Amino acid sequence: MKPTAFTILLFTLTCTTLLARKEPTSSLQKGKQIFFDFRLEQPYDSGQVPAKTQRTVFSKVFKKYLTDSLRCNANFDSRNGTDPLKAARDAGQIVPAIADVATGSFTAAGQAQTLYVISVSECNASHADNFGTKRVAIFSGQQLVLDADIDFRSSVVLKSDLDGDGVNELLMTSADMSQGTLTEMAILVSFKGTKVNVIEDFGTVTLDSCASGLPGSSDKASVISISDVIPGGMPKFQTDNYSSSCRGAKRWKFLSSGKMPD
Averaged pLDDT of the chain: 87
Number of domains in the chain: 1
Please report whether residue 105 resides in a domain: yes
Query: For residue 224, what are the domain limits?
Result: 5-257
Nearest to 116 by CA among 137, 140, 146: 137
Residue 89 falls inside a structural domain:
yes
In this predicted structure, the answer to whether residue 209 has a pLDDT above a threshold of 90 is yes
The CA distances from residue 117 to 6, 71, 100, 164, in Å, are: 19, 23, 5, 24
262, part of any domain: no
The span from the CA of 187 to the CA of 201, in Å, is: 4
- For residues 243 and 245, give the distance between their C-alpha atoms in angstroms, rounded to a whole number: 7
The string of pLDDT tens digits covering residues 124-171 is 888 888 889 999 999 999 899 999 999 999 999 999 999 999 999 999
pLDDT band at 22 (very low <50, low <70, confident <90, very high): very low
pTM: 0.85
The mean per-residue pLDDT over the stretch 241-252 comes to 91
Buried b or exposed e, range 225-254, using 16+ CB within 10 angstroms: bbeebeeeebbebebbbbbbebeeeeebee
